[in-house]
Amino acid sequence: MIGFEAHANALDALKARDRYRVLVPRKGIDFASNDYLGLANSDTLHNAAISALDRGVALGAGASRLLRGNDREHEALEEEAAAFFGAQKALFFGGGFVANTAIFSTLPRYGDLIVYDALVHASAHDGMRLGRAQTVAFEHNDVSHAEVLINEWRAQGGTGRIWLAFETVYSMDGDLAPMRDLAALAQSHNAVLVADEAHATGVLGVQGRGLLQAYEGQVDLLTLHTCGKALGGSGALVCGAASLIDTLINRARGFIFATAPSPLTAALVRAALLALQQEPSPSDALAKHIAHAHCEAVQKCGLPTPQSQIIPVVIGEDKQTMAVANRMQARGFDVRGIRPPTVPRGTARLRISITLNTSLAEISDMFSALAEELESAPNV
């Protein structure tokens, strides 16, 4: 048998630095998932699956969409999503990661510039690496820095299109993008706004439609709505101008050379989008949980006022962060530690996420326990 000493040594090095990861079974009260609306294991989606199977929806697509894999569930979902998110067209991908790599590797062209927030998701980075456009990062949420970079590029002779990339809610910090300023910047430079709404979809905006509804029609918008987080299923919807969506269909390798997502999954996402449109909206129920969690975080733990359902508790040092997370887990709260390289070095943190899988009382109990653990942890 071939030896894999180099791999084993690299793993040992991770262990020595406390960066070694293992898969563990799910347990404890959910303060870690992105199942914000509690849909993943809900009657809503169970019933949608049963009714989809009853009407003969297939489990597998059997091929790429461009071959025999195109199913009417995919097409119905895309039509409904385009209408719901206010876009000309939508395209369903197997996941947000592949959708982001498709967007960034395919749409910005040679001679264009992607100006991206320094904290955008790994999938956007991978897409940019595969693409042909130039790329430059602006300091997190610093729109004036983005403008300086655009002006410098123009001054150096850059003539292509600008693509301004950001997340509306940042996955590890829970803060929101300065949408109004980004939209104004895009408008003044004729740029396309590329917004990853992964953690806003289903949570923020009217009916959980995300945070860019207000800018529709003002600027060119391309949005990514992932379906594996608040929508409780899997996959991702890219929404935007018809010519961009058609370009993805014709050119995006992650779309063309991949088996289409399961039609059953498309049916579940359709049901989740319908659920968002019910009265009262599940995102309104979540808003109450979030408001309660914000009060508890500030009052009991002295945290800065959070901005969304994602509440970071930055501890700094990797080992100590994991120790606090372990102690919270031992007390029955599934709170996870996040270490570099997922977050910048020296900013290891607990990432607390608020979902409808927990009660208000459980949120209160968790913050009481967290306050005690932070108090007893040295140097926190």
Pairing of strands 220-226, 192-196: parallel
Q: How far is the CB of 237 from ligand PLP (least distance, A)?
A: 10
Q: Which of 96, 108, 232, 312 binds ligand PLP (CB under 6 A)?
A: 96
Q: Which stretch binds ligand PLP (CB under 6 A): 7-15, 93-101, 147-155, 277-285?
A: 93-101
Residue number closest to ligand PLP, CB atom: 96
* Per-position b or e across 100-120, b if 16+ CB within 10 A of its CB: bbbbbbbbbeeebbbbbbebb
Distance CA 196, CA 82 (A): 16
Please report, as residue ranges, which positions from 15 to 74 form the binding site for ligand PLP (by CB under 6 A).
none
Among the residue ranges 89-97, 128-136, 352-360, 369-377, the one whose residues contact ligand PLP (CB under 6 A): 89-97
Piece of the chain touching ligand PLP by CB under 6 A; list 7-15, 42-50, 94-102, 325-333 = 94-102
Q: Which residues contact 110 (CB under 8 A, 6 or more apart)?
A: 132, 133, 160
Interaction between residue 228 and ligand PLP (CB under 6 A)? yes
Task: Candidates 31, 36, 92, 97: give the one binding ligand PLP (CB under 6 A).
Answer: 97
- Fill in the per-residue mask, 149 to 178: x = in contact with ligand PLP (CB under 6 A), - = not in contact: ------------------x---x-------
Nearest to 231 by CA among 30, 31, 33, 40: 40
Q: Is the dihedral of CA 335, 340, 342, 344 positive or negative?
A: positive
Handedness of CA 262, 76, 36, 348 (dihedral sign): positive
Residue number, 100 or 189, with CB nearest to ligand PLP: 100
Q: How many CA atoms lie within 13 A of 334 on its CB side?
A: 16
Which residue lies nearer to ligand PLP by CB, 238 or 303? 238
Nearest CB to ligand PLP, comparing residues 189 and 351: 351
281 catalytic? Reply is no
Question: How many residues bind ligand PLP, per CB under 6 A?
Answer: 13
Are 300 and 367 in contact, with CB atoms under 8 Å apart?
yes
DSSP string, 241-292: -HHHHHHHHHH-HHHHTSPPPPHHHHHHHHHHHHHHTSSS-HHHHHHHHHHH
**233 part of the interface to ligand PLP, by CB under 6 A:** no
Q: Per the structure block, which two tokens stand in for 85? A: 């998110």
Determine whether 70 is an active site residue: no
DSSP at 133 = S
Taking CB under 6 A as the criterion, the residue among 35, 71, 173, 196 binding ligand PLP is 196
Can you tell me the distance from the alpha carbon of 377 to that of 160, in angstroms, rounded to the nearest whole number? 52
Query: From the candidates 199, 225, 289, 294, which is the catalytic residue?
Result: 199
Active site residue 220: no
105 binds ligand PLP (CB under 6 A): no
Q: Which residues here bind ligand PLP, judged by CB under 6 A?
A: 95-97, 100, 121, 123, 167, 171, 196, 198, 226, 228, 236
